[in-house]
Structures are given as C-alpha cells and as structure tokens.
Amino acid sequence: MSDKTMQPMLLRTSKIRYHRACDYRTLTEILGELAVRHPSLEVSGLGTSVLDRPIPVVTIGRDPHSRSILYLGGIHPTDVMTPAVLLRFVS
C-alpha cells in the first residue's frame, strides 16, 4: 500500500495527545469515529469501571477461525502512552 492510500485510512490523530492522558470523552469519540470509518472494527463493552463508565473493547476482524491477540491499554491512571499507541495502531 502506498503512502497515499494509507492517509485516508488514518484517523485525524489531532485528538490523540502523546504527552498526556487521553480523557474518557475524547477516547470514546475517537473510537466512535474509527468504528464508522472501518466496518471491520467493532467497539463493544467489557463491563463498567469503578467510576461506572463503560470499559471499551475494540475488535478488529470477524474471522472465527483466526487467532486472537489481546492488547491492553490505560489500565493505570498514569498510563499515557499505551492508549495513544493502541489508538494509532487501530487507526
């Protein structure tokens, strides 16, 4: 894939800040935009946090015969980089 064909697939990452944590509202907005742009991406919930907010889960692809890989990000309040990197990876 050339750089020109990759650009439209990438989410405008101006909302993703790599030097500070992404707040919950921004995270859900970004995940919603990604789900609209990529039909093979599904955003669902895993349960609720201690703050009673839904914990988002992103699934890419729907092949039941393929292997699964689990990536976790943002499990600690000071985890700034992992959520941003995973959002970039997904976009």
pLDDT number for residue 1: 42
Between CA 16 and CA 74 the distance in angstroms is 14
pLDDT number for residue 25: 85
Report residue 15's pLDDT band, with 50, 70 and 90 as the boundaries: low
42-88 residue pLDDT tens: 899 999 988 898 999 988 887 878 888 888 888 877 777 788 788 87
Would you tell me how many other CB atoms lie within 10 Å of the CB of residue 27? 20
